[in-house]
């Protein structure tokens, strides 16, 4: 069985070995420092790790490391980073924790004391859009909300980043699809433009002068008191998304097995950001139309990311047409693995949930990691429908012995 066949069986809810994903998406990645530690552990060539997602400082999991770990997936990323500059013209940069890295050519930063600031499109003549505080390991968005005039609010301001996919982007996706197909691994793609209200995107860290509602707290207020504004935003975005998905599918075809659509979080550690009724009113119609188009025109499975206590939303995600849920935050309220699998395992693929990244993986022992991984694999893999991954990205300072114990436990389960 090929690696791609392993993934496809899991996505189709068929019994088989559990496929493993690390590095396929921006929510199933590994911090650059841990990537380097894994390369050392497996005795791979020493070289600077590429930062492929500077917002979270995720490192490229290269083919030799994927082979060593036994990763079954490969990802197709967009041309540009969350800070709006392309993944090209690599240069060296020394991170504040001392690691020598390769960063994109327009990764331009400045220091104020021991804090680091990064700029949209790499343009240091405009205000920075990201901040890494002293002692930090990744960037946070800087809120650059302009004064709000209720009489002049224009939904177009919140959709200026959306538009027709460019010929350059289409050529990029075609090249990346060819490379992914040649890898023999299952393919998950993120084409962009399909995440309605993703709080990582609302501040516009990729934009020099974002307009509209760009403050995180104000955005949540907007979903409650300016719903017509939100509908106008989402409708315009949907129109571009459907247009672009058609063009993208024409060049990548069915080399893609799953497509990352949305990273909008609906859950907190113990509750939710909105009611299920609000979800059905604001989000579900647009998700449904996008998922329907994909299922009618492609063979892709659709991937929904939402952290937190989202058990009350699971039936609504299914109704919206999603095939896959991630990261399956089992430590959150109501997210018991047994209950999730029993209630929703026939309809949803659980991509994640393999080990707790808040306590067990970073702070437990290798034996505790192994025990939890084996338990999660037993629960989630029944009748297929499980792709192993940690719960969200593997963070900096995670002991490499624990990461290796996690990987080895998956192989032990499959043996």
Is residue 155 domain-resident?
Answer: yes
- Number of compact structural domains in the chain: 1
DSSP collapsed to 3 states, the chain: CCHHHHHHHHHCCCCCCCCECCCCCCCCCEEHHHHHHHHHHCCCCCCCEEEEECCCCEECCCHHHHHHHCCCEEEECCCECCCCCECCCCEEEECCCCCEEEECCCCCEEEECCEEEECHHHCCCCCCCEEECCCCCCCEECCCCCCCCHHHCCHHHHCCCCCCCCHHHHHHHHHHHHHHHHHCCEEEECCCCCCCCCCCCCCCCCCCCCCCCCCHHHHHHHHHHCHHHHHHHHHHHHHHHHHHHHHHHHHHHHHCCEEEEECCCCECCCCECCCHHHHHHHCHHHHHHHHHHHHHHCCCEEEEECCCCCHHHHHHHHHCCCCEEECCCCCCCCCCHHHHHHHHCCCCEEECCCCCCCCHHHHCCHHHHHHHHHHHHHHHCCCCCEEECCCCCECCCCCHHHHHHHHHHHHHHHC
172-185 per-position pLDDT tens digit:
999 999 999 999 99
Domain that holds residue 193: 3-30+62-82+145-414
Per-residue confidence at 64, pLDDT binned at 50, 70, 90? Answer: very high
pLDDT at 174: 98
Is residue 254 domain-resident?
Answer: yes
Per-residue confidence at 403, pLDDT binned at 50, 70, 90? Answer: very high
Is residue 123 domain-resident?
Answer: no
What is the CATH classification number for the domain harbouring 376?
3.20.20.210
DSSP β-bridge partners for residue 101? 49, 93
Per-residue confidence at 295, pLDDT binned at 50, 70, 90? Answer: very high
Mean pLDDT of the chain: 97
pLDDT at 161: 96
37-62 per-position pLDDT tens digit:
999 999 999 999 999 999 999 999 99
Is residue 128 domain-resident?
Answer: no
Is residue 106 domain-resident?
Answer: no
**For residues 183 and 73, what is the distance between their CA atoms, to the nearest angstrom?**
9
Is residue 117 domain-resident?
Answer: no
pLDDT at 230: 98
Is residue 275 domain-resident?
Answer: yes
Per-residue confidence at 163, pLDDT binned at 50, 70, 90? Answer: very high
Is residue 93 domain-resident?
Answer: no
């Amino acid at each position: 069985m090929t690696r791609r066949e392993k993934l496809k069986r899991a996505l189709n809810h068929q019994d088989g070995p559990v496929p493993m994903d690390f590095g396929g998406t921006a929510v199933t990645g590994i911090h650059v420092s841990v990537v380097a530690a894994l390369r050392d552990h497996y005795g791979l060539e020493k070289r600077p790790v590429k930062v492929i997602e500077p917002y979270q400082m995720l490192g490229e999991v290269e083919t030799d490391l994927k082979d060593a770990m036994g990763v079954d997936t490969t990802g197709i990323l967009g041309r540009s980073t969350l800070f709006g500059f392309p993944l090209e013209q690599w240069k060296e940069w020394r991170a504040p924790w001392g690691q020598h890295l390769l960063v994109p050519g327009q990764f331009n930063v400045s220091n104020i004391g021991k804090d680091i600031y990064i700029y949209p499109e790499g343009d240091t003549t405009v205000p920075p859009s990201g901040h890494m505080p002293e002692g930090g390991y990744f960037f946070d968005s800087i809120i650059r909300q302009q004064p709000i005039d209720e009489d002049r609010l224009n939904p177009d301001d919140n959709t200026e980043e959306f538009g027709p996919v460019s010929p350059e982007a289409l050529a990029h996706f075609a090249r990346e699809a060819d490379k992914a197909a040649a890898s023999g691994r299952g393919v998950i793609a993120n084409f962009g433009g399909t995440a309605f209200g993703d709080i990582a995107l609302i501040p516009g860290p990729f934009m020099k002068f974002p307009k509209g509602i760009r403050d995180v707290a104000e955005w949540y207020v907007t979903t409650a008191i300016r719903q017509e504004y939100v509908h106008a935003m989402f409708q315009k975005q949907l129109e571009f998304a459907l247009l672009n998905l058609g063009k993208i599918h024409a060049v990548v075809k069915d080399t893609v097995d799953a497509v990352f659509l949305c990273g909008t979080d609906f859950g907190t550690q113990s509750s939710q950001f909105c009611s299920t009724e609000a979800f059905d009113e604001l989000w579900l119609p647009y998700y449904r139309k996008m998922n329907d188009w994909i299922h009618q025109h492609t063979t892709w499975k659709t991937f929904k990311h939402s952290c937190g206590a989202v058990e009350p939303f699971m039936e609504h995600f299914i109704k919206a047409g999603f095939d896959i849920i991630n990261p399956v935050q089992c430590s959150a309220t109501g997210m018991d693995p047994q209950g999730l699998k029993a209630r929703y395992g026939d309809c949803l693929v659980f991509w994640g949930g393999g080990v707790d990244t808040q306590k067990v993986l970073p702070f437990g022992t290798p034996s505790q990691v192994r025990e939890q991984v084996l338990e999660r694999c037993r629960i989630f893999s029944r009748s297929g429908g499980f792709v192993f991954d940690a719960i969200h990205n593997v963070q900096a300072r995670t002991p490499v012995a624990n990461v290796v114990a996690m990987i080895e436990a998956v192989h032990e389960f499959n043996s």
